[in-house]
């Protein structure tokens, strides 16, 4: 077999299938067959690295992480468009165009709400991609753009030079899936698909961008040395022939027809996989564009029509409460059906109790409803003159509507949260956290597997993980017997974890890794910790009154007690494996700087915390001691300036009892 020819054949075949799947949305082979071909190419390129080419499908998975983004000066500026907000303003735009152009034809296209970028091709090969930035200078995000499978890496019959502009976006379905996964992991949610796309493009590690499922649509030629077309529509058709995913467009020389098309586009926006925040109207003739020119900020031949938020009256028929994966109670208004922005709205978000109270929203009220950002229905205001008699102010329930556990309000926010350790609504998130690396560290039990177990009815609490049936697990999608054996072995191994990891796995509010280690080492067993009073807990350094309250409330809850009993029965370790600790260093704040030879700075900090000390990252007047290793820098100098006691590594080891010496004398020196 000619290996080079086979690799070239595979690249061509895979690129063709990428085009059919990601651009035409018309795949002709199964995912399994595609993966098989890709694996064959990966094996060939691994064995023969000299065969790897920049346009190979194997290069889309994300290359080496970058230290920073390089600046790119755009060869042709990426201009913004002048916004218009009403039919009258659109007619003014048309009038100004007709003053300089005879019988203009307009091209109308949806305005994609994403991140604008420029793609550069040389001799048909994708060589660089950059964000818009300020229009003149952007950032080089080439490696992240390579991961977007609808972007062609090599063009057939392309000119020597070509720069195109387009919009990177995150499809709505992908956005919902991404936010769902982030919620399970307890990570901050993206506000909208545009923010998610922009954040993904600015990841220094391309592998993260590759996992985000981004897409791109092209809408303009910025520069080319080959231009046999006289209109924008012809240019877009030519780009489509080069296998770019090109924006849809409509043509008309009648501004009345363009206006009607804009309104129809607004009503049909749900049909697009991406969010749109308006419609773009452009003069189609390239020569007329040249004649119209541009201002210092905008081209005179284009405008962006922004859709005003459509508002209508409806009636609040009910208020229902949903419990999210993190336990937050979210109220939702059930409203009489009303048509908004192209869809029928029957529900509107109420955010939280503060929002309801501020607007005084009650069941039976007539309200004004709109779509926030043209996506999420929300209540703008109450029409109080239409309020029926006998309505009552609404209050969220005092117990979780799903599991009946008590609810608490966040100390630092407006959220009201369920406290149930076994609440079914929080099951996916709780299990994912329970199995995470810093918690019980169950390898192979990621969000997808957790979801499969829950959907199959095999797991209703974390304790059920330790009672899984191997044969049933093997029947789950993408598992099999070997994967099931590996998963069950990892679950079995987790039984022996230290108590500190179990405490973190419980997800008790304000009990993170550090607090878990301190509590486990101080009390020695889960039973001893469960018996501790708030007063006893607050005596521990780094455990404040709020954390102590959360701990005692969690251990007192029936669901928590049931979970602990189930885990004990399953054989999960409930004791600390750390050496017993004291409080010899309580009240002293340490700062570590420089390199230590006997242990890492993290390990040194843990030794100090185990003796009751507090470890900080910066030196101040409140610092009690600085431990200085080799090559100590600015922290040491600041300690000397402030007169803070300094210990070298040898003295530190004496102080923590790992080297012979007079530890009491050192301690007395620190407490002066």
Residue 328 and residue 290 in one domain: no
Helices 427-435 and 172-184, packing angle to 10 deg: 60
Residue 379 and residue 465 in one domain: no
Of the ranges 89-98, 160-169, 322-331, which one carries the lowest mean pLDDT score?
322-331
Residue keyed to tokens 């599991």: 403
Q: Looking at the predicted structure, is the pLDDT value of residue 169 above 70?
A: yes
C-alpha separations of 510 from 60, 451, 544 in Å: 40, 26, 10
Task: Give me the catalytic one of 64, 111, 460, 501.
Answer: 111
CA angle 317, 360, 410 (to 5 degrees): 100
The pLDDT of residue 396 is 93
d(CA 277, CA 446): 35
Beta pairing class for 115-122 and 161-169: antiparallel
Residue 67 lies in a domain: no
Of the ranges 24-33, 47-56, 254-263, 520-529, which one carries the lowest mean pLDDT score?
24-33
Q: Residue 597: which CATH number?
A: 3.40.50.10190
- Give the mean pLDDT of 380-391: 93
Of the ranges 178-192, 378-392, 507-521, 554-568, which one carries the lowest mean pLDDT score?
178-192
What order do you get walking across the sheet with 82-84 strand by strand?
A: 82-84, 302-305, 276-283, 106-112, 250-252
Residue 379 and residue 426 in one domain: no
- Give the mean pLDDT of 122-140: 92
Residue 153 and residue 260 in one domain: yes
The pLDDT of residue 227 is 79
d(CA 220, CA 236): 7
pLDDT, tens digit, for every residue of 227-245?
789 999 999 999 999 999 9
d(CA 104, CA 640): 76
- Band (412; pLDDT cuts 50, 70, 90): low
Residue 108 and residue 221 in one domain: yes
Given 563, 580, 597, which residue is the final one in a domain? 580
d(CA 567, CA 506): 11
Q: Residue 55: which CATH number?
A: 1.10.287.610
d(CA 132, CA 232): 21
**Pair of tokens at residue 430:** 């709780």
Contact present, 559 and 507 (Cβ < 8 Å)? no
Q: Looking at the predicted structure, is the pLDDT value of residue 558 above 90?
A: yes
Given 580, 605, 622, which residue is the final one in a domain? 580
Residue 115 lies in a domain: yes
- Band (8; pLDDT cuts 50, 70, 90): confident
Residue 405 lies in a domain: no
C-alpha separations of 185 from 42, 205, 436 in Å: 31, 19, 8
- Band (157; pLDDT cuts 50, 70, 90): confident
Q: What percent of the chain has pLDDT over 90?
A: 54
d(CA 143, CA 60): 8
- Give the mean pLDDT of 440-454: 92
Residue 610 and residue 569 in one domain: no
Residue 182 and residue 322 in one domain: no
CA angle 59, 60, 61 (to 5 degrees): 95
In sequence order, the 6+-apart residues with CB closer than 8 A to the CB of 188 are 182
Residue 544 and residue 441 in one domain: yes
d(CA 467, CA 607): 37
Residue 414 lies in a domain: no
- Band (509; pLDDT cuts 50, 70, 90): confident
Given 305, 334, 367, which residue is the final one in a domain? 305
Q: Residue 145: which CATH number?
A: 3.30.470.30
Compute, in degrees rounded to 10, the torsion defined by CA atoms 64, 67, 72, 78. Answer: 80
d(CA 507, CA 490): 20
Main-chain phi, psi angles of 199, to 5 degrees = -65, -35
pLDDT, tens digit, for every residue of 86-119?
899 999 999 999 999 999 999 999 999 899 999 9
In sequence order, the 6+-apart residues with CB closer than 8 A to the CB of 370 are 309, 310, 311, 312, 340, 377, 378, 380
Start-to-end CA span in the chain (Å): 81
- Band (581; pLDDT cuts 50, 70, 90): low
Q: Looking at the predicted structure, is the pLDDT value of residue 617 above 60?
A: yes
Residue 286 and residue 269 in one domain: yes
d(CA 158, CA 127): 14
Residue keyed to tokens 């009491």: 664
Q: Looking at the predicted structure, is the pLDDT value of residue 216 above 60?
A: yes
* Residue ranges in 211-248 assigned as alpha helix (H): 232-241
- Band (505; pLDDT cuts 50, 70, 90): very high
Residue 123 lies in a domain: yes
d(CA 42, CA 49): 10
Q: Residue 526: which CATH number?
A: 1.10.150.20
Beta pairing class for 71-73 and 137-139: antiparallel
- Band (193; pLDDT cuts 50, 70, 90): confident
Residue 301 and residue 317 in one domain: no
Residue with the larger pLDDT of the pair 655 and 6: 655
The pLDDT of residue 434 is 94
Residue 571 and residue 610 in one domain: no
Residue 507 lies in a domain: yes
Reference 185, options 424, 416, 439, 408; nearest CA is 439
Residue keyed to tokens 């420089």: 594
- Give the mean pLDDT of 429-441: 92
- Band (32; pLDDT cuts 50, 70, 90): low
Beta pairing class for 589-593 and 416-418: unpaired
- Give the mean pLDDT of 258-263: 94
- Give the mean pLDDT of 342-359: 88
Domain extent, residue 655, equals 589-670
Reference 607, options 633, 630, 627; nearest CA is 627
Q: What percent of the chain has pLDDT over 70?
A: 95
Residue 73 lies in a domain: no
Indicate the average pLDDT of the chain.
Answer: 88
Reference 252, options 266, 262, 237; nearest CA is 262
Q: How many residues does the chain have?
A: 672
Grouping H, G, I as helix, E, B as strand and the rest as coil, residue 389 is: coil
d(CA 534, CA 549): 6
Residue 398 lies in a domain: no
The pLDDT of residue 224 is 93
Of the ranges 17-26, 214-223, 473-482, which one carries the lowest mean pLDDT score?
17-26
**Count of domains observed in the chain:** 5
Task: Report the sign of the C-alpha dihedral through residues 526, 531, 536, 537, in that order.
Answer: positive
| Residue 111 among the catalytic residues | yes
Residue 299 and residue 189 in one domain: yes
pTM: predicted TM-score of the whole model, two decimal places: 0.64
- Band (672; pLDDT cuts 50, 70, 90): confident
């Amino acid at each position: 077999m000619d290996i080079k020819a086979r690799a070239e054949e595979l690249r061509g075949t895979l690129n063709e299938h990428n085009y059919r799947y990601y651009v035409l949305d018309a795949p002709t082979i199964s995912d399994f067959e595609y993966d098989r071909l890709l694996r064959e190419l990966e094996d060939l390129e691994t064995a023969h690295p000299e065969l790897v080419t920049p346009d190979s499908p194997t290069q889309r998975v994300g290359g080496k992480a970058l230290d920073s983004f390089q600046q790119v000066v755009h060869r042709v500026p990426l201009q913004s468009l002048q916004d218009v907000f009403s039919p009258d303003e659109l007619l003014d735009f048309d009038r100004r165009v007709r003053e300089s152009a005879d019988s203009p034809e307009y091209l109308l296209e949806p305005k994609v709400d994403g991140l604008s970028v420029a793609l550069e091709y040389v001799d048909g090969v994708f060589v660089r991609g950059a964000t818009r930035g300020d229009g003149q200078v952007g950032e080089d995000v080439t490696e992240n753009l390579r991961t977007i499978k609808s972007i062609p890496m090599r063009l057939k019959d392309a000119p020597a030079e070509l720069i195109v502009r387009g919009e990177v976006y995150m499809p709505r379905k992908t956005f919902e899936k991404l936010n769902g996964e982030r919620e399970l992991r307890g990570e901050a949610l993206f506000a909208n698909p545009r923010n998610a796309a922009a954040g993904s493009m600015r990841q220094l590690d391309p592998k993260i961008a590759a996992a985000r499922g981004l897409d791109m649509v092209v809408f303009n030629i910025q520069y080319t040395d080959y231009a046999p077309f006289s209109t924008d529509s012809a240019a877009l058709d030519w780009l489509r022939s080069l296998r770019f995913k090109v924006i849809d467009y409509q043509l008309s020389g009648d501004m009345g027809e363009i206006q009607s098309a804009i309104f129809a586009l607004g009503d049909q926006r749900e049909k697009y996989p991406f969010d749109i925040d308006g419609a773009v109207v452009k003069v189609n003739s390239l020569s007329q564009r040249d004649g119209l020119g541009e201002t210092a900020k905008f081209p005179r031949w284009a405008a962006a029509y922004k859709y005003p938020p459509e508002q209508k009256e409806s009636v609040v028929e009910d208020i229902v409460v949903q419990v999210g994966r993190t336990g937050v109670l979210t109220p939702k208004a059930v409203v009489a059906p009303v048509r908004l922005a192209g869809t029928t709205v029957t529900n509107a978000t109420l955010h939280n109790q503060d929002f309801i109270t501020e607007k005084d929203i009650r069941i039976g009220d007539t309200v004004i409803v709109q779509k926030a950002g043209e996506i999420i229905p929300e209540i703008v205001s109450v029409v109080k003159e239409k309020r029926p008699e006998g309505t009552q102010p609404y209050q969220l329930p005092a117990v979780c509507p799903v599991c009946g556990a008590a609810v608490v309000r966040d100390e630092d926010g407006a959220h009201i949260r369920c406290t149930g350790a076994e609440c079914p609504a929080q099951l996916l998130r709780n299990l994912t956290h329970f199995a995470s690396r810093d918690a019980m560290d169950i390898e192979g039990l990621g969000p997808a597997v957790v979801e499969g177990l829950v959907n199959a009815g095999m797991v209703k609490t974390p304790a059920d993980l330790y009672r899984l049936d191997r044969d049933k697990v093997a029947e789950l999608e993408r598992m099999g017997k070997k994967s099931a054996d590996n998963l069950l072995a990892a679950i079995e191994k987790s039984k022996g974890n230290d108590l500190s990891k179990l405490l973190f796995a419980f997800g008790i509010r304000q009990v993170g890794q550090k607090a878990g280690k301190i509590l486990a080492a101080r009390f020695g067993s889960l039973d001893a910790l469960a018996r501790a009073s708030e007063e006893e807990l607050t005596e521990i350094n780094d455990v404040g009154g709020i954390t102590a309250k959360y701990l005692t409330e969690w251990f007192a809850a029936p669901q928590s007690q049931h979970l602990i009993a189930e885990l004990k029965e399953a054989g999960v370790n409930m004791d600390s494996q750390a050496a017993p600790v004291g409080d010899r260093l309580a009240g002293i704040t340490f700062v570590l700087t420089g390199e230590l030879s006997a242990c890492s700075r993290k390990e040194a900090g843990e030794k100090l915390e185990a003796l009751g000390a507090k470890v900080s990252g910066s030196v101040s007047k409140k610092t009690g001691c600085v431990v200085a290793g080799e090559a100590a820098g600015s922290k040491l100098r600041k300690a000397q300036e402030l007169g803070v006691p300094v210990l070298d590594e040898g003295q530190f080891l004496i102080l923590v009892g790992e080297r012979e010496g007079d530890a009491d004398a050192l301690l007395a020196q620190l407490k002066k």
